[in-house]
């Protein structure tokens, strides 16, 4: 069971909720989660999305996902799935915050370039797999 709130302008709440509901039911159904998805302009930051813990970092269950408002539909879905994969990493304890530094599977990733951080590599790889699974689930592969 989880709580989802979508804020700001972006793709329809229906699409956002569909992707999040599918992901949570497939991979995180046994956890009680509070997920907020905020749509806002991220162009200046050079990003499509972020996933942050918004509550306690010890066994986190409250999250804020921020998504850029100006993406085409397939990029939007893939980006949301990428950020949800980070949420999964947090919930499963693979991503942790210790002394204000981010760790992935016990390794500090703060000094690594963004593209070289192992949790990002895993998320980029898995976003494509998740995207294909989501399209099969919704039978949308022909409409995207």
Q: What is the pLDDT of residues 35-64, one digit of tens each?
A: 999 998 898 999 999 999 998 999 999 999
The DSSP annotation for 40-71 comes to: E--GGGT-SEEEEE-S-SSS--EEEEEEES--
Look at residue 141 and tell me whether its pLDDT is greater than 80: no
Q: Tokens for 115, please give them.
A: 């593209």
The predicted-structure confidence for 73-121, as pLDDT tens digits, reads as follows: 999 999 999 999 999 999 999 999 999 999 999 999 999 999 999 999 9
Instruction: Give the C-alpha separation, 2 to 85, whole Å.
Output: 16
pLDDT band, very low/low/confident/very high, at 5 (cuts 50, 70, 90): confident
Question: How confident is the model at residue 77, as a pLDDT?
Answer: 96
pTM: 0.91
Pair 77, 116: CB distance under 8 Å: no
Helix axes 73-91, 118-138, angle to 10 degrees: 120
Q: Are strands 101-104 and 107-108 parallel, antiparallel or unpaired?
A: antiparallel
- The radius of gyration of the chain from alpha carbons, rounded to an integer in Å, stands at 15
């Amino acid at each position: 069971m989880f709580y989802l709130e979508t804020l700001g302008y972006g793709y329809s709440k229906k699409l956002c909720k569909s992707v999040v509901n599918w992901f949570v039911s497939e991979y995180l159904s046994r956890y009680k989660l509070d997920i907020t998805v905020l749509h806002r302009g991220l162009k200046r930051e050079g990003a499509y999305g972020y996933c942050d813990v918004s509550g306690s970092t010890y066994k986190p269950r409250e999250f804020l996902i921020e998504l850029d408002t100006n993406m085409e539909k397939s990029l939007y879905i893939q980006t949301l799935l990428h950020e949800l994969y980070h949420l999964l990493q947090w919930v499963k304890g693979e991503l942790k915050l210790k002394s204000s530094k981010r760790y992935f599977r016990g390794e500090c990733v703060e000094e690594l370039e963004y593209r070289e951080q192992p949790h990002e590599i895993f998320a980029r790889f898995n976003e494509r797999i998740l995207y294909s699974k989501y399209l099969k689930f919704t039978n949308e592969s022909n409409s995207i």
